[in-house]
Amino acid sequence: MVSNLFAIFFGAILINNFVLTRFLGICPFLGVSKKIETAVGMSLAVIFVMTIASLATWGIQTYLLMPFNMLYLRTISFILVIAVLVQFVEMVMLKATPTLYQALGVYLPLITTNCAVLGVTLLNLNENYTLVQSLMHGFAGGVGFGLAIVVFAGIRERLDFAPIPKALEGFPIALIVAGLLSIAFSGFQGLL
Amino acid sequence: MQLDMRSVIIALASLGTLGLIFGAGLAIAAKKFAVPTDPLYDEVLGALPGVNCGGCGYPGCAAYAAAVARGEVGINLCPVGGNDLLVNLAKIMKLEPAATLERQVATPYCDGGAQEAGTRFLYAGILDCVVANAMSGGDKDCQYGCLGYGSCVKMCVFGAISMDENRIPVVNEAKCTACGMCVKGCPKHIFALRPSSMQVHIRCRSHDKGKDVRKKCSVGCIACGLCVRACPVKAITMENNLAVIDYTLCTNCGLCIEKCPMKTIHGPLSAQSTK
């Protein structure tokens, strides 16, 4: 049981990293990764939303969709859950840290359509995870997203001072770096 | 096909209930985490035009309203609202009404379209001035001139700019709000704001020598200085091979328009300015 959770945790962070291996949630990955500070804030928000979304969707899945044989409703009901959670996070964040709220800007409400969040809930379903496993998968998925975006933000902060050919300045070099990071993470394949 | 009403009702009911529960939860959360907004902010935001053009330098009207409400910036940054807005904002912010502003309009300072100005090479890239300009300054012979791919048309959120058949931008002065997006956005800096009552303007940006301008464009300023001598109030000066009008002196008499050998100067009397 514990070793299984361990496998899910490191599997979701390193081997099947949501951003760098599964290519989900690319929009905030590229959008909010200019500064480490905002990247950390974004990943905390995503970790929270992913974990709670895993919990809530597991409940909906087990006690509502399965008994009434309504699996076809899972996409819309999961999106509903995620949207509500994001709204909630937005309110809390505006109250608690207005600066971070300003820095994240439009990317905060965009977590609603962050496919990594919907992805984690649907993967939980496909893998027939139990509640604890779902929670762990959601949490680890968020941590993996956070790891990718913070590493990427760190590289991008240094890129500002690097001598880059003019044609590659700004976004092009960021995309190249993202590709290299993804290749680097493919080295974790077969770790477990 | 037989429609199973029971499953439809269950689906409706369960999703509806979920929505209601979540909605109630959010409503409670909204009350609990409510952040009191500055009433001043709401008033300022209400007074602003709400077109979010970015002419003030802020991402949108809301951001500018917040800055005004905090008293960080002046109330005169919004180019769209004009005098009415200034008066309203001054009232809201309890400031002395500022001096009235003359309405301004964006003007393209180049008239060398496809017919008048030659090209250096055949450009076959993306039809956008910014992209073309990155290609060693674009395909126009004159490196100061309008590239004619209409990036300004796309930039203008008010739809005031169109390209004529000669590939030169035409500003619909009635629609122009002087937000200045074209002034900032044009890679060749063709646009500038000009007081709308001052209709005489010199449509050229070239700092090339007169001889070179003649080779490249049939309507460019060749810095001959006839307008400088013709001007009765000495409003025109020659700066770096380009005639410049000082609008604090200009009287709109139009004598320079008649004298200009290249027909570079436009104004109320020239036929081209009405096109």
Cβ contact, residue pair B22, A73, below 8 Å: no
Q: Judge whether B99 is closer than 8 Å to chain A, CB to CB.
A: no
Q: Which CATH number fits domain B198-275: 3.40.250.10, 2.60.40.1260, 3.30.70.20, 3.40.50.150?
A: 3.30.70.20
Q: Judge whether B121 is closer than 8 Å to chain A, CB to CB.
A: no
Domain boundaries, chain B: 39-92, 103-194, 198-275
Rounded to an integer, what distance in angstroms lies between the CA atom of residue B120 and that of residue A135?
Answer: 64
Q: Judge whether A91 is closer than 8 Å to chain B, CB to CB.
A: yes
Same topology for domains B103-194 and B198-275, yes or no?
yes
**Residue B63, SS3?**
helix
Architecture of domain B103-194: 2-Layer Sandwich (3.30)
What is the CATH class of B39-92?
mainly alpha
For the entire predicted model, the pTM comes to 0.58
Q: Judge whether A68 is closer than 8 Å to chain B, CB to CB.
A: yes
Q: For residue B212, which amino acid is it?
A: D
Query: What ipTM does the predicted assembly reach?
Result: 0.70
**B11 to chain A, minimum CA–CA distance in Å?**
7
Cβ contact, residue pair A73, B18, below 8 Å: no
Per-residue pLDDT of chain B (275 residues; tens, 9 = 90+): 566 788 888 888 888 998 999 999 999 988 888 777 778 888 888 888 888 887 787 878 888 888 888 877 778 778 787 778 888 888 888 776 555 667 788 999 999 888 888 888 888 888 899 999 988 888 898 989 999 999 999 988 888 999 998 889 999 988 888 888 889 889 999 999 888 888 889 999 999 998 889 888 999 999 998 999 999 998 999 989 999 999 888 888 888 888 899 889 988 754 444 43
The DSSP line for B109-170 is -----TTTB-BSS---S-S-HHHHHHTTT-SBSSTTS---S-HHHHH-TT--EEE-TTS-EE
